[in-house]
Amino acid sequence: MAENFTEGQVIEGKVTGVQPYGAFVALNDEIQGLVHISEVTHGFVKDINEFLTVGDEVKVKVLSIDEKSNKYSLSIRATEEAPKQTEAKPKSKKVKQQSTQQTQSDVEPGFNTLKDKLNDWIKQSEERENTFKK
Comparing 17 with 108, which gets the higher pLDDT? 17
The answer to pTM > 0.85 is no
Contacts with 35 (C-beta within 8 Å, 6 or more apart), sequence order = 22, 23, 24, 25, 52, 58, 60, 74, 75, 76
pLDDT of 45 > 70? The answer is yes
Average the pLDDT over each of 9-18, 74-83, 99-108, 114-123 and give the range with the smallest value. Answer: 99-108
Taking residue 76's Cβ as centre, other Cβ atoms within 10 Å add up to 22
Domains and their CATH numbers in the chain: 2-79 (2.40.50.140)
Query: What's the pLDDT score for residue 105?
Result: 47
Mean pLDDT for all residues in the chain? 80
Contacts with 61 (C-beta within 8 Å, 6 or more apart), sequence order = 8, 9, 10, 11, 74, 75, 76, 78, 79
pLDDT of 104 > 80? The answer is no
